[in-house]
């Protein structure tokens, strides 16, 4: 995978950051986005280039404005000569999810729409732009991060869970249509993963304890657990896997 290029949204924290470093260790150049913390992003670029000998670049992106992906990829074109992998990872939290992260009877269209935009629309536009570049180099791999919250009940998660179900369906449609270009499209669905986003949940400690109890492995998921799955799906070892959702849940949905 050396010398190939990954484009990933939301690469400075949690799962996204773990994916960035997992690919960097494999010799993959990385173009990642950040929301607001430019200082952190620049520091990460320097760390990646110094310790892994790859090319890295960070770009600002507001995931609630997915149409700006088109301009983003034009900037990436100036810095990288190819795009081989695209991972749609960035999520929203805080004020934009008000009315989306709540009980069913308190859901509001604006909150739900914001979650859908950041999850489904952002995946579509980002994947479209990535696919145009992948076709020029003979193919590639596209991944959307998902969540088992579309399979099992998680308190206050109706808006997110429904959007994740939608993006998994979009993944299957994309896989069916992009296969002729040599592009594989899959989703990686995580059970509750130890991240800042999860810690922002009002019932974080309850989710943490229940997850560890449900899992035969007796622990919460870590960002690195999903990062390894993403690296596998982008590698030649997964060359006949497309249109699928890989569950990384520590056995929690089975029980």
Backbone angles phi, psi at 83, to 5 degrees: -130, 125
Q: What are the pLDDT digits (tens) for 71-84?
A: 999 999 999 999 99
Q: How far apart are CA 223 and CA 168, in angstroms?
A: 20
Residue 174: closest CA among 149, 133, 141: 141
Catalytic residue list contains 132: no
254 falls within a domain: no
Average pLDDT over residues 188-203: 77
Q: Is 59 a catalytic residue?
A: no
- Identify how many contiguous H helices and E strands the chain contains and give both numbers: 9, 7
Residue 133 is part of which domain span?
A: 5-248
Q: How many domains does the chain contain in total?
A: 1
For the segment 129-183, what is each residue's pLDDT rounded down to a tens digit?
999 999 999 999 999 999 999 999 988 899 999 999 999 999 999 999 999 999 9
CATH code, domain carrying 91: 3.40.50.720
> Exactly one of 34, 52, 69, 157 is catalytic; which is it?
157
Is 255 part of any domain?
A: no
Out of 21, 70, 164, 255, the active site residue is 164
């Amino acid at each position: 995978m050396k010398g190939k290029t990954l484009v990933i949204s939301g690469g400075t924290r949690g799962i996204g950051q773990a994916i960035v470093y997992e690919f960097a260790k494999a010799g993959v150049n990385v173009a990642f986005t950040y929301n607001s913390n430019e200082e952190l992003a620049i520091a990460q670029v320097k760390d990646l280039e110094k310790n892994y000998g790859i090319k890295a670049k960070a770009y600002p992106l507001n995931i609630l404005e997915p149409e700006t992906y088109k301009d983003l990829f034009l900037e990436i074109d100036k810095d990288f000569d190819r795009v081989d992998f695209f991972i749609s990872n960035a999520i929203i939290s805080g004020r934009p999810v008000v009315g989306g992260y709540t009980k069913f009877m308190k859901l509001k269209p604006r909150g739900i729409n914001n979650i859908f935009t950041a999850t489904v629309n952002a995946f579509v536009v980002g994947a479209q732009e990535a696919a145009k570049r992948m076709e020029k180099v003979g193919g590639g791999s596209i991944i959307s991060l998902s969540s088992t919250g579309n399979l099992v009940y998680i308190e206050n998660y109706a808006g997110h869970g429904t959007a994740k179900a939608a993006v998994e369906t979009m993944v299957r449609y994309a896989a069916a249509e992009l296969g002729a270009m040599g592009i594989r499209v899959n989703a990686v669905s995580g059970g509750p993963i130890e991240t800042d986003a999860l810690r922002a949940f009002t019932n974080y400690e309850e989710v943490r304890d229940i997850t560890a109890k449900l899992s035969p492995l007796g622990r919460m998921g870590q960002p690195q657990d999903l990062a390894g799955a993403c690296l596998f799906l982008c590698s030649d070892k997964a060359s006949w896997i497309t249109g699928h959702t890989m569950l990384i849940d520590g056995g929690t949905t089975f029980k």
